[in-house]
């Protein structure tokens, strides 16, 4: 601080952009006049949201630390401008350039990213219990004191791609009994609807290479209500909603901090990372905030008797932490002095001296080792342990001073176990630590006075930050470089300018995705959805043999543990960056979730999407028999077979948007899927009659019985959805085989195999044979598909529950273009032989539209059945909600269906919101709510049906309205209703917010969106996991495809006059084979044909 005193009077003049014109070198500053801090979702250029406060203040520098740019011949134009000059007409945007560099392995842009989990505690990987109770074995209370074995977590954190070195945020408001260093939530045992995070945070922005990222955490200024949240949720039953943190009142009067974290990488150095943490006091009074970024090595040395070389970090200078890892190398974390807080007008807060005083970081060090003293009353391996920063910073953790003022650190008393919380609503004293009691250290300090270890933190204290938008800022730089090599380390102007440049490059990247007049609100929803998907990456490690048998340097796990779960997956060896459904509620991959994640991910980063699909079929994931692992709670469970669909869609999206055909990827995954398809046929078609079981198939409690368990009635459940999924699988494998046959004729034979298999499945599923015991899943009376029980003796029994089970058969739809058929004479000959020799089957499963170029439709549902199903699907009193297609017909609200078996009643009711049963943990519900993933496939199915039928098939939409649409218009209407879940209506409300006025109208909330797991079928409010951007991020794809024609929610439809159908005579024929058969593509505009608006066979 003293070295800056000569410049303190210049501080206010230099604090903001545009006020640095008095530089001695006479040059104008590099900084722009735009506010440095806004990501601005939405902005006029591309959707942004304002941070609602002053720009981050800066400290001045001494003359000898300031780079004299006048003496350097430096091109100070933004990097994107210089790159555009360099590349000329080949310039596709700066972020696209980085993606190409990463693909070519010229720069490792994805080495660093948001790969920390939001929750590592209470995961299956960390569970070494005898009974498999992961929630109880490693609770939240242990997380700060006990090292993780298989991963790391944190607030808005990052790590390298092998998670050797981690960085994340921690905070203290002066009231909490522990630092806020990870997200809190109730466990599966505590929540009335299962596990649920109880925090307010948002993933606001990210580029695919993570060259720019932004995160927001809302931190209460009062003590965090840990006990209240648990107590109230435990006391609630499943008939009422969850108790959320906003319900506690802790955010009343805006007594909280908005803490924004921004990351940016140097323009051409992926290993140099800028970190800016900006905290706004939203409350009515001045408040103090401790900002404590943490920097650490995961513990790799406590598990083996022959551990790897141990990494180390130390204080190598004032505000400098140097970390050395045996394989990652050397990095420095530069913790720059922070300026004092500013008011909401940008005025500096002065210190006791009457002058602004810098806030310096106090560097803290410890070791990332378990505190056995605290948890178990045992002996610690090292004097300094994982939770040292809690004990060092929070006064109530420290030993009481002696009468003569001695701090009392040499007391040897150890408190073990938990402090008593008392009864009722008694509030623990702020002077007494709650939870596991602090063992008084044997040394004079909880942290290492030598300032070295394997875990570190930079402790900044901002006292009396002004109210109503007062601001404090911390800047850090993680880089292998030194200040002599990197002037941004000592120049806040360069630092902030770089962040701003990366933000503008992110704007450029997302603006290039948008075609057509999409509203700013929809643009920012799309951007946050994509940003959330890119943030929801995680380093996922699970080596099954090591996990099952335990670690040599640790006590052996209970022997009965090996029988609890996943014992048959000994080949699993996972250590990859994976797309997670939700990094708190589902911090593990789920196979069918991943498939849906890859669709929007392919729009922004095809390489990452392909990698996800490729990994799940690799030999260290897929079982030797071909089964794909489902999720860590039970790898052997069965998810719907959507992998082939996702693989071909990603291939086509990359071809459409990027002009690349990755045939090696397509063929490699296809070969592995042949094994998986065989596994399905061998394991899930017990009788070899082409009607499939499958189990829960991702639809949890949709049926009257638990479909993963033996039926209480006896017999076998033949599943409409299981069989339809297999028909869908067949058609996707057929499509891929025909694509590959363009380059290798061997695949013609494989295509023929899948063509015939589809016909057999379609016939077996939908048509009765001659005997009374023949099974049909189609009800002619109801015009729906149903599950059926097939008994060993006697006729089968249909289960007449109107649910997604009866709509999923629509997925199995494929149009074969004449040009495609004629290109492959072997396939054509075999298909014609089958038609001629099996007419009774082929006629029921194929339509042959003569006069339209011999285009063929393969589908489970005939035209007549399609129309009958759509009558119910588009009936607003059945499936058709204002917010999409329900998972169960609303008819069952007044007409539940059930049956009595062995004295017990089983029943399916319409539950539009949270589940009222404990099946599958009670936190998932398929008896009414809207799920975006299954809606997405219905939309694409209607688009494919339209490819064939065109305007010939017109249906009422909604049923009974008198408004008739063709099927692509119906698909668009469903898309718009899904978009309406998130979009603002005329009153500024979002359906997903459930009517909460703060979320809808507060300027510090209203522009931010959560992407929930599923949505209430009647009012659209978000339910389940609040950050499941994974498949709810599909809304971004809908916005890009049809957002330009989307009306505001709760406003009348505007009829859309679509272009001519793609097979109308007014369109010139296009035949890639060159024969007389016409093969014509969509008559959408030229822009549509090169974007996601194309719904021709070439695109879908």
Task: List pLDDT tens digits, range 177-193.
Answer: 999 999 999 999 999 88
Structural domain includes residue 800? no
Query: For residues 1035, 1037, 1038 and 1039, what is the CA-based torsion angle, rounded to 10 degrees?
Result: 90
Residue 326 domain flag = yes
Give the pLDDT confidence score for residue 920 in this predicted structure: 52
CA distance 116 to 947: 44
Q: How far is Cα 770 from Cα 788, in angstroms, rounded to an integer?
A: 18
pLDDT band, residue 35 (cuts 50/70/90): very low
Cα–Cα distances (Å) from 1094 to 147, 744, 1059, 1081, in that order, read 50, 27, 12, 9
pLDDT at 22: 39
Write down the pLDDT at residue 768.
54
**Would 75 be classed as within a structural domain?**
no
Buried b (16+ CB within 10 A) or exposed e, 152-180: bbbbbbbbbbbbbbbbbbbbbbbebbbbb
**Residues in the chain, overall count:** 1100
| pLDDT at res. 697 | 57
Calpha distance 370→482 (Å, rounded): 33
3-state SS, one letter per residue, for 966-1019: EHHHHHHHHHHHHHHHHCECCCCCEHHHCCCHHHHHCCCCCCCCCECCEECCCC
In 367-504 the beta strands, taken as DSSP E runs, fall at 452-453, 455-465, 470-479
pLDDT at 197 over 90: yes
288 contacts 463 by C-beta, under 8 angstroms: yes
Among 155, 109, 458, 31, smallest CA distance to 272 is for 109
Helix residue ranges per DSSP H, 685-745: 720-741
Which residues, in sequence order, are CB contacts of 354 under 8 Å at separation 6+?
A: none
Distance CA 726, CA 563 (A): 31
- Give the model's pLDDT for residue 1070: 38
- Per the structure, the count of domains in the chain is 1
Q: What is the pLDDT of residue 438?
A: 52
Residue 403 placed within a domain: no
pLDDT at position 687: 61
Q: What is the mean pLDDT of residues 93-100?
A: 98
Distance, CA of 28 to CA of 184 (rounded, Å): 47
What is the helix (H) or strand (E) element at residue 81, kind and residue range? helix 79-87
- In angstroms, the CA 856 to CA 735 distance is 13
Distances (CA, A) of 664 to 443, 591, 671, 751: 60, 22, 11, 18
Task: List CB contacts of 978: < 8 A, sequence separation 6 or more.
Answer: 883, 884, 930, 932, 935, 1035, 1038
Q: Which one, of 521, 371, 364, 382, lies nearest residue 456 by Cα?
A: 364
Would you state the pLDDT for residue 397? Answer: 85
Residue 490, classed as helix, strand or coil, is helix
Residue 269 has pLDDT above 90, yes or no: yes
- Residue 901, pLDDT > 60, answer yes
Residue 445 CB partners (closer than 8 Å, separation 6+) = 392, 409
- Assign residue 490 the CATH number of its domain: 2.70.98
pLDDT in tens, 1037-1057: 999 999 999 988 877 765 444
More confident position, 422 or 988: 988
Number of neighbouring beta carbons within 10 Å of residue 742: 14
The DSSP-derived string for 592-611 is HHHHHHHHHHHHH-HHHHHH
CA atoms within 13 A on the CB side of 77: 8
What is the domain extent for residue 353?
112-118+153-367+448-512
| Predicted confidence (pLDDT) per residue in 677-701, tens digit | 999 888 755 666 666 555 545 566 6
Q: In terms of Cα–Cα distance, which of 644, 490, 656, 535 is closest to 206?
A: 535
Q: Tell me if residue 255 falls in helix, strand or coil.
A: coil
Q: Where are the beta strands (DSSP E) in 3-135?
A: 112-113
Q: What is the pLDDT of residues 913-969, one digit of tens each?
A: 987 766 555 556 888 899 999 999 999 999 999 999 999 999 999 999 999 999 999
8-state DSSP, 359: B
Mean pLDDT along residues 822-833? 92
d(CA 606, CA 611): 8
Task: Check: CB of residue 803 under 8 Å from CB of residue 926.
Answer: yes
Please tell me what DSSP assigns to residue 409: T
E strand segments, 854-953: 855-859, 880-881, 884-885, 897-901, 904-908
DSSP track, 102-158: HHTTSS-TTSEES-SBS--TT-STT---SS--HHHHS-HHHHTTS--SS--B-EEEE
Which pLDDT band holds residue 355 (cuts at 50, 70, 90)? confident
Burial class (CB in 10 A: 0-12, 13-18, 19+), 75: exposed
Residue 314 and residue 451 in contact, taking contact as beta carbons nearer than 8 Å: yes
* pLDDT confidence of residue 857: 92
- pLDDT tens track for 866-888: 999 999 999 999 999 999 999 99
Which whole number is the average pLDDT over 601-625? 97
Nearest one of 943, 937, 912 to 640, comparing CA atoms = 937
Give residue 929's Cα distance to chain centre.
20
pLDDT tens per residue across span 628-669 = 999 999 999 888 999 999 999 999 999 999 999 999 999 999
Q: Is the entire prediction scored with pTM above 0.85?
A: yes
What is the DSSP annotation of 519-531?
Answer: -HHHHHHHHHHHH
Domain membership flag for residue 605: no
CA–CA dist 519, 329 (Å, integer): 47
Q: What is the mean pLDDT of residues 469-479?
A: 97
| Mean pLDDT, residues 282-295 | 98
Strand order in the sheet with 813-816: 813-816, 855-859, 846-849
List the alpha helices (DSSP H) in 477-623.
492-511, 520-535, 544-549, 591-604, 606-616
Q: Is residue 342 part of a domain?
A: yes
What integer is the mean pLDDT of 445-450?
95
Residue 795 lies in a domain: no
- Report which of residues 780 and 182 the model is more confident about: 182
85 has a pLDDT exceeding 90: yes
pLDDT at 1008: 97
Residue 925 falls within a domain, yes or no? no
**What are 556-570's pLDDT values in tens digits?**
999 999 899 999 999
In the chain, how many H helices and how many E strands? 29, 37
Answer yes or no: is pLDDT of 400 > 90.
no
Which of these, 605, 658, 597, lies nearest to 99 by C-alpha position?
605
- The mean pLDDT of 846-875, rounded to a whole number, is 84
Question: Region 365-389: what's the mean pLDDT?
Answer: 95
What is the Cα–Cα distance from 599 to 605, expressed in whole angstroms? 10
489-543 pLDDT, tens digit per residue, is 999 999 999 999 999 999 999 999 998 889 999 999 999 999 999 999 999 999 9
Determine whether 851 is exposed, middle or buried from the number of CB atoms within 10 Å of its CB (0-12, 13-18, 19+).
exposed
What span, in angstroms and rounded, lies between the C-alpha atoms of 637 and 627?
Answer: 10
The whole-angstrom distance between residue 517's C-alpha and the CA centroid of its chain comes to 27
> What is the residue-averaged pLDDT of the chain?
85
């Amino acid at each position: 601080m003293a070295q800056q005193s000569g410049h303190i009077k210049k501080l206010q003049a230099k604090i903001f952009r545009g006020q640095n014109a008095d530089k001695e070198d006479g040059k104008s500053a590099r900084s722009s006049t735009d506010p440095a801090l806004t990501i601005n979702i939405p902005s006029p250029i591309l959707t942004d949201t304002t941070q609602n406060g002053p720009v981050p203040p800066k400290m001045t520098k001494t003359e000898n630390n300031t780079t004299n740019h006048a003496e350097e011949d430096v091109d100070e134009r933004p990097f994107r401008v210089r790159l555009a000059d360099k590349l000329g007409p080949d310039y596709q945007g700066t972020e696209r350039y980085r993606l190409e560099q990463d693909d070519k392995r010229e720069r490792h842009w994805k080495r660093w990213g948001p790969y920390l989990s939001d929750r590592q505690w209470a995961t299956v990987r960390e569970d070494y219990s005898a009974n498999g109770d992961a929630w109880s074995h490693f609770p939240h209370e242990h997380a700060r004191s006990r090292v993780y074995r298989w991963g790391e977590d944190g607030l808005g954190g990052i790590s390298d791609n092998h998670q050797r070195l981690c960085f994340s945020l921690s905070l203290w408001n002066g009231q909490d009994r522990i630092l806020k260093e990870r997200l809190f939530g109730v466990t599966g045992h505590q929540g009335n609807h299962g596990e649920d995070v109880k925090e307010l945070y948002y993933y606001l922005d990210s580029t695919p290479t993570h060259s720019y990222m932004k995160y927001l955490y809302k931190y209460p200024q009062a003590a965090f209500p840990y006990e209240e949240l648990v107590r109230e949720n435990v006391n609630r039953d499943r008939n009422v909603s969850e108790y959320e943190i906003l319900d506690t009142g802790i955010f009343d009067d805006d007594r909280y901090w908005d803490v924004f974290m921004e990351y940016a990488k140097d323009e051409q150095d992926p290993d140099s990372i800028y970190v800016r943490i900006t905290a706004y006091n939203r409350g009515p009074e001045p408040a103090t905030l401790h900002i404590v970024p943490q920097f650490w090595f995961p513990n790799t040395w406590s598990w083996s008797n022959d551990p790897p070389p141990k990494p180390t970090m130390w204080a190598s200078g004032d505000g400098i932490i140097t970390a050395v890892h045996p394989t990652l190398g050397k990095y420095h974390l530069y913790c720059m002095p922070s300026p004092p807080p500013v008011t909401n007008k940008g005025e500096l807060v002065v210190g006791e001296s009457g002058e602004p005083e810098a806030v310096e970081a106090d560097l803290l060090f410890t070791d990332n080792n378990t505190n056995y003293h605290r948890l178990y009353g045992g002996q610690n391996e090292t004097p300094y342990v994982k939770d040292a920063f809690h004990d060092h910073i929070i006064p109530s953790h420290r030993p009481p001073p002696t009468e003569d003022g001695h701090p009392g650190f040499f007391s040897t008393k150890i408190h073990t176990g938990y402090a008593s919380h008392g009864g009722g609503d008694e509030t623990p004293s702020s002077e007494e630590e709650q939870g596991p009691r602090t063992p008084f250290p044997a040394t004079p300090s909880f942290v290492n006075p030598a300032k070295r270890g394997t875990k570190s933190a930079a402790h900044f204290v901002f006292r009396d930050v002004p109210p109503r938008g007062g601001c404090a800022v911390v800047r850090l730089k993680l880089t292998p470089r030194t200040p002599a090599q990197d002037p941004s380390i000592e120049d806040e102007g360069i630092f902030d300018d770089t962040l701003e440049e990366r933000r503008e490059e992110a704007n450029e990247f997302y603006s290039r995705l948008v075609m057509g007049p999409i509203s700013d609100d929809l643009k920012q929803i799309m951007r946050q959805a994509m940003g959330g998907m890119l943030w929801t990456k995680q380093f996922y490690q699970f080596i099954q043999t090591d996990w099952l048998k335990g670690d040599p340097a640790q006590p052996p796990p209970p022997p009965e543990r090996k029988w609890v779960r996943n014992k048959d997956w000994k080949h699993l060896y996972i250590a990859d960056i994976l797309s997670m459904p939700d990094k708190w509620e589902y911090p593990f991959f789920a196979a069918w979730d991943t498939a849906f994640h890859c669709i929007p991910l392919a729009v922004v980063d095809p390489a990452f999407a392909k990698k996800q699909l490729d990994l799940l079929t690799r030999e260290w994931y897929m079982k030797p028999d071909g089964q794909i692992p489902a999720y860590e709670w039970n790898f052997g469970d069965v998810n719907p077979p959507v992998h082939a669909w996702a693989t071909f869609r990603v291939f086509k999206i990359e071809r459409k948007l990027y002009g690349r055909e990755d045939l090696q990827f397509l063929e490699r995954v296809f070969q592995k899927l042949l094994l998986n398809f065989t596994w399905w046929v061998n394991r899930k078609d017990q009788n070899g009659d082409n009607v499939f079981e499958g189990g829960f198939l991702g639809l949890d409690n949709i049926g009257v019985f638990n479909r993963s368990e033996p039926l209480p009635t006896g017999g076998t459940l033949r599943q409409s959805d299981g069989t339809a999924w297999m028909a869908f699988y067949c058609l996707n494998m057929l499509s891929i085989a025909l694509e590959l046959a363009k380059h290798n004729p061997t695949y013609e034979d494989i295509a023929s195999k899948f063509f015939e298999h589809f016909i057999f499945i379609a016939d077996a599923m939908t048509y009765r044979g001659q005997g009374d015991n023949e099974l049909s899943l189609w009800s002619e009376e109801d015009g729906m598909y149903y599950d059926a029980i097939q008994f060993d003796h006697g006729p089968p029994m249909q289960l007449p529950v109107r649910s997604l089970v009866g709509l999923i058969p629509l997925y199995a739809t494929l149009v074969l273009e004449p040009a495609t058929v004629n290109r492959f004479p072997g396939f054509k000959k075999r298909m014609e032989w089958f038609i001629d020799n099996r007419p009774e089957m082929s006629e029921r499963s194929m339509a042959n539209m003569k006069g339209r170029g011999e285009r063929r439709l393969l589908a489970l549902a005939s035209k007549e059945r399609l129309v009958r199903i759509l009558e119910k699907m588009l009936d607003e009193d059945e499936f058709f909600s204002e917010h999409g297609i329900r998972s169960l017909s609303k008819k069952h609200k007044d007409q539940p269906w059930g049956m009595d078996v062995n004295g017990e009643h089983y029943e399916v009711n319409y539950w539009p919101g949270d589940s009222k049963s404990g099946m599958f943990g009670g936190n998932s519900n398929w008896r009414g709510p809207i799920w975006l993933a299954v809606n997405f496939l219905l939309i694409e199915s209607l688009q494919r049906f339209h490819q064939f039928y065109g305007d010939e098939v017109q249906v009422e939409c909604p049923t009974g309205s008198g408004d008739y649409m063709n099927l692509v218009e119906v698909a668009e209407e469903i898309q718009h209703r899904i978009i309406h879940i998130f979009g603002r209506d005329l009153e500024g409300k979002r359906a997903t917010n459930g009517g909460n006025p703060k979320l809808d109208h507060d300027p510090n909330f209203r522009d931010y969106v959560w992407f929930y797991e599923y949505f209430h079928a009647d009012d659209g409010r978000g339910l389940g996991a609040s950050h499941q951007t994974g498949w709810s991020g599909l809304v971004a794809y809908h916005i890009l495809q049809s957002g330009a024609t989307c009306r505001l929610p709760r406003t009348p439809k505007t009829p859309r006059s679509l272009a001519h159908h793609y097979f109308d005579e007014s369109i010139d024929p296009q035949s890639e084979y060159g024969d007389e058969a016409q093969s014509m593509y969509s008559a959408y505009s030229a822009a549509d044909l090169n974007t996601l608006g194309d719904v021709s066979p070439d695109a879908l």
